[in-house]
């Protein structure tokens, strides 16, 4: 079920993090509430990120075949043998409709619509079959990057890439507006990611394009 309206209407001490921890207990009650609760108008309200204080934010870089092909100057068209993990600062989070603020030191602001996987319970060294049992839900997000900062265009050598800095400016991770619990997404293969800029379709892909699947 979408959890954002629940939080907006009733408020929960500890916010979304507390709800995620209680999902195994509250799942049925929340589903009943979703079927019977009156609608809550969101017009005129600012929606923040559904998950406000995650422990960490980890992205998998170059994880679509189309992106690998697009960046062939660097990749040679070869996909990675292991997931390339990149972190972003938690302070980059913002709401789905918040303005993205361009830092003064970048001229190449870029965007990528991504599927955010929200981990609901701690796990370590679990099998692929067990891993999805620790997933609380999914969100849409945009991974904003200052590309000229990332690739070190002002450096004298091409070795000095700045993944963390280029992706961690404030407002560089809009998420939401909804967090869909895992039971709402029984078939991940049907998820399509689209990006429009001024009503022009710029990105249209699905999870079959992933190099390393979920």
**What confidence tens digit (pLDDT) does each residue in 36-68 have?**
777 777 788 888 898 988 999 999 999 999 989
Contacts 24+ apart (CB under 8 A), 15-24: 15/52, 15/53, 16/50, 16/51, 16/52, 16/179, 17/51, 17/52, 17/53, 17/54, 20/51, 20/118, 20/120, 20/136, 20/137, 21/120, 21/121, 23/120, 23/136, 23/181
**Cβ distance 92 to 170 under 8 Å?**
yes
Q: Which of 75-84, 108-117, 164-173, 174-183 has the lowest mean pLDDT?
A: 174-183
Q: Which H or E element spans position 72?
A: helix 72-75
**Residue 204 pLDDT more than 70?**
yes
Query: Domains (ranges, CATH) in the chain?
Result: 48-209 (3.90.850.10)
pLDDT at 127 over 80: yes
pLDDT tier, 18 (very low <50, low <70, confident <90, very high otherwise): low
Residue with tokens 């303005």: 99
Dig out the tokens for 4 from the structure.
């954002």
Total residues belonging to the chain: 214
Q: What is the pLDDT of residues 149-161, one digit of tens each?
A: 999 998 998 889 9
């Amino acid at each position: 079920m979408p959890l954002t309206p629940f939080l907006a209407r009733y408020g929960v001490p500890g916010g979304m993090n507390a709800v995620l921890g209680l999902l195994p207990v509250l799942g049925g009650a929340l589903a009943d509430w979703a079927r019977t609760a009156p609608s809550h108008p969101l017009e005129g309200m600012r929606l923040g990120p559904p998950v406000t204080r995650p422990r960490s934010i980890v992205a998998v870089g170059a994880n679509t075949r189309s992106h690998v092909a697009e960046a062939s100057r660097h990749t040679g068209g070869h996909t990675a043998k292991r997931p390339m993990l990149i972190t972003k600062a938690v302070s980059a989070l913002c709401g789905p409709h918040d303005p993205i603020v361009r830092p003064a030191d970048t001229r190449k602001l870029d965007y990528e619509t991504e599927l955010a996987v929200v981990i609901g319970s701690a796990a370590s060294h679990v099998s692929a079959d067990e891993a999805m049992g620790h997933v609380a839900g999914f969100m849409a997000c945009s991974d904003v990057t200052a590309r000229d900062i990332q690739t070190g265009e002002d450096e004298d050598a091409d070795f000095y890439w700045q993944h963390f800095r280029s992706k961690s400016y404030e407002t560089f991770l809009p998420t939401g507006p909804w967090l869909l619990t895992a039971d709402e997404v029984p078939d991940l293969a049907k998820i399509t990611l689209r990006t429009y800029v001024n009503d022009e379709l710029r990105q249209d892909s699905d999870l079959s394009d992933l190099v390393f699947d979920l």
